[in-house]
Structure 1
Amino acid sequence: MFTNKTPWIVLLVVWMAGSTWWHVCKIKQLCADDASAPGLSVQAPAVSLTDGTRFSIGLPGSFNFAKSGAVPNLAGFDAPLDSIATYLQNNPDRQLTLTGYYTASETNDSSFPNLGVARAEAIKALLVQRGVSATSLLTTGVERGDLTFNAKGDSVNAGVLPSFGAMTAAAPKPDSAAVAIANSASATPAAAISTAAPVTEEALAKAEKFESVFKPIDLYFPSGSSDYIRTNETKKFFKEAIGYLRKNKDKNLVLTGYTDNQGPDDTNLALSKKRANAVKQRLLSQGVSSSQVESSGKGEADPKASNDTDSGRKANRRVTVVVQ
C-alpha cells in the first residue's frame, strides 16, 4: 500500500523528537539553556546610583552573590565604591541604605539574623574600609520570593540594592574614649581599659598607632565581618613588616584573633581563627611567605576591655599583629 515508507519514517522521527523536547523542556523545564525558566535570568545590565541631582554614578551591574553566599562579586566595582565613599565623606548629611535580599531556599551560614543583612553588611564593610563613617550607612535584610538567579542558578542577581537618603541620626563627635584607649594602651592592664563612652569599630581602628613592627597593633572588624578596617597606621605597619620579613627570613608575623564573650565558646574560637586567617591570606597574596606568617585564634580569652559594655565588647573583637 505504501510503496515508499521513507517520508513516513522521517515524519515519525521528527514527531518523536519534537514530543520529547516539549515534554523535557516545556513541561519538566529541565533544559539548562531555557531562558524562560522561572526564577532564572541573565546577568543584570549596567545600572546607575543617584542621589537626586547631587550625585550620580554608573555601576558595572548589581551586587551579585553566590547562592547562599555573603561575599559579593566585585569585578569592576573598585572605582565606583571609591566614588561613593568620597561622596559620603564629603556629604555627612546624607546616608546610604543598603538593602540585602535573599530567598527562603538559601542557607544562612553567617552570624547575622538573615542572609540579606549579611550581604548588606559585606558592602557596608567595603565602604567603611574606604573611610566612610558607619553612621552614614544603614543595613537591612528582606526576603524576596522573586529574587532572580543567573542562568546556571548558582549566583544571585541584585543581592544588595543601595539608595540614598537624609541622615536619620546625628553623627557622633570624635570619640574621646577611643583616643584614651590609644594613649593608655601601653600603660593600662588590658582588662582595665575604660570604654564607658560609646565606641565604634571605626574609632577603635583609627585610634591604633604604628610605632614599630615589634610592638603589637590591633586590627578591628565591622560586626560579623572577617575583613579588617584599613587605616593609614595599619598600612604603615604592614608596609614595614612586609619589607622586614623579606630581609629577615628567620622572623615571623604573628596574628592572634580574639572575640567578645557573646555566644558559644566554640563559635567564638572559630570566628577568631577565621579573622586571623583572613588577614594571613591577604598577606600571602602580597607575596609574603606562608612559612613566615602564623595565625591562631583565642576566642574570648585575654580581653583588653570589659565585656560588660557594648563598647568593651567591640574593643575585644580584634586581631593582634606583631613581628617576632
Structure 2
Amino acid sequence: MNAENNFNFKNSDHHFITPVSDDLKKAFTDLQAYVKGNPSKRIQVIGHYTANEKNNSAYPNLGLARANAVKNHMMSLGVPSKIIDTYGTLKNDLVPNADNVYFGPIDYTVKTIVAGDTSEADELKALRDKIITNPLVLNFKTGQTVINLTTEQRQKIADISKYLDKVNGATCLIVGHTDNVGDASENMGYGQKRADFAKKYLIDNEISTSRITAISKGQTEPIADNATEEGKAKNRRTVVTLKETN
C-alpha cells in the first residue's frame, strides 16, 4: 500500500483523527481491488502504543484498539474482515507532536496463504476450543451490574471478537446469573443487565448485535451453595462464550 500519509491518533485515543487524507483513501481503494484479485492474500494491521498512554478502549491494549479502528475503516471500504488480522505492539520510541498527536502509529504487512495451508483453520479451531473450554466469566457484587474488566478479561473479549469476525454464522451467547438474595423476578432483571453490560463490550469491539444473544437465568442455575457468601459470589456471574451449533 503506497501512501504518503497514514492514520493519526491523539495521545491515549483509539479513534483516528478525521478527515482521512485523499492519498490514504486512494491507497485503500487500490488495496480493495488488489485483495479482490488475489484471494490468497491476508492483510496484517499492527497498531502501536506507548507505555505512558491510557487505554480507555474495550481491547486489552491501545495498539490493538487502534489496529481495529483501521480494520473497521477498511471494512467500510469493502475489504472483507476475514482477510484482516489485527495486532497491538508496544513501541515506546513513539513521540507525539506539540498537539499530543501520534503520526502514523500503524504498520501494514501482506501475507500470502499457500495452497493447502491449513494453519488458519487450525488456529480458528484452537481459538474456538480455548473460548469454550475457558469462557469469560464476570463476577459481580450484590446489586452490581457494571464492573471494570481486567486486561485478561479484555483479551478474552478480543478473542471472541476475532472468532466471530472470521467465522461466518458464528454467534456469541451471554448468560447473566445471580445469587438468591432478594426477589426472584428482580434477580432475573439483574441477570439481564449484567448480560447486556457484556454485550456492550462486544458491540464496542464492532461485533454486530445480530450475532449476540444476551439472556438472563437469574437465580435459577447456581453453581455453588447460596448458603455461603463465597457461594453467592460465584453465582453472581455472567458467562460469555460461543453459542454451540448442532
**What is the TM-score of this pair, normalised by structure 2?**
0.50
Contact 2:82 2:166 in 1 (8 A): no
Q: 2:220 — aligned with what?
A: none
Q: 1:151 — aligned with what?
A: 98
Q: 1:226 — aligned with what?
A: none
Q: 2:57 — aligned with what?
A: 110
Q: RCO greater where, 1 or 2, for CA within 8 Å and sep 6 or more?
A: 2
Change (3 A) 1:202 1:84: farther
Of residues 309, 320, 324, the one that matches 2:242 is 309
Q: 2:197 — aligned with what?
A: 267
Contact 1:136 1:167 in 2 (8 A): no
Q: 1:64 — aligned with what?
A: 8
Greater Rg over alpha carbons, structure:
1
Q: Which runs of 5+ in 1 are unaligned?
A: 1-48, 50-56, 173-197, 206-219, 221-258, 280-297, 313-324
Offset from partner CA, 1:221-270 (integer Å, 9 cap, x none): xxxxxxxxxxxxxxxxxxxxxxxxxxxxxxxxxxxxxx852895463365
Contact 1:133 1:202 in 2 (8 A): no
**What is the identity, as a one-letter code, of the residue corresponding to 1:83?**
D
CA distance in 1, matches of 2:173, 2:40: 32
CA shift, 1:142, in A, is 0.7
Offset from partner CA, 1:34-88 (integer Å, 9 cap, x none): xxxxxxxxxxxxxxx3xxxxxxx3x141221111111123233322212112211
Q: How many residues align?
A: 154
CA shift, 1:144, in A, is 0.9
CA distance in 2, matches of 1:110, 1:144: 18
CA distance in 2, matches of 1:275, 1:138: 14
**What is the identity, as a one-letter code, of the residue corresponding to 2:198?**
N
Contact 1:65 1:157 in 2 (8 A): yes
**What is the TM-score of this pair, normalised by structure 1?**
0.39
Q: 1:161 — aligned with what?
A: 107
CA distance in 1, matches of 2:45, 2:62: 13
The residue correspondences of 1:114-133 to structure 2 (distance < 5 A) are 114-133=61-80
Change (3 A) 1:157 1:199: closer
1:261 counterpart SS class: strand
2:105 counterpart SS class: strand
Contact 1:265 1:299 in 2 (8 A): no
Change (3 A) 1:87 1:309: same
Give identity over the alignment, percent: 22
CA distance in 1, matches of 2:166, 2:110: 23
Offset from partner CA, 1:179-205 (integer Å, 9 cap, x none): xxxxxxxxxxxxxxxxxxx86468459
Change (3 A) 1:122 1:91: same
Q: Which runs of 5+ in 2 are unaligned?
A: 122-162, 177-193, 217-239
Change (3 A) 1:271 1:80: same
The residue correspondences of 1:1-324 to structure 2 (distance < 5 A) are 49=1, 57=2, 59-73=3-17, 74-76=20-22, 77-152=24-99, 154-167=100-113, 200=165, 203=168, 260-261=173-174, 265=195, 267-268=197-198, 270-271=200-201, 300-301=214-215, 309=242
Contact 1:100 1:142 in 2 (8 A): yes
Offset from partner CA, 1:265-314 (integer Å, 9 cap, x none): 463365588799xx9xxxxxxxxxxxxxxxxxx98249xxxx753577xx
CA distance in 2, matches of 1:137, 1:83: 15
CA distance in 2, matches of 1:62, 1:81: 11
Change (3 A) 1:165 1:199: closer
Change (3 A) 1:65 1:260: farther
Contact 2:59 2:205 in 1 (8 A): no
Change (3 A) 1:311 1:164: farther
CA shift, 1:132, in A, is 2.5
CA distance in 2, matches of 1:89, 1:137: 13
Contact 1:272 1:299 in 2 (8 A): no
What is the CA RMSD across the aligned residues, in angstroms?
3.8
CA distance in 2, matches of 1:106, 1:123: 19
Contact 1:116 1:143 in 2 (8 A): yes
Change (3 A) 1:146 1:129: same
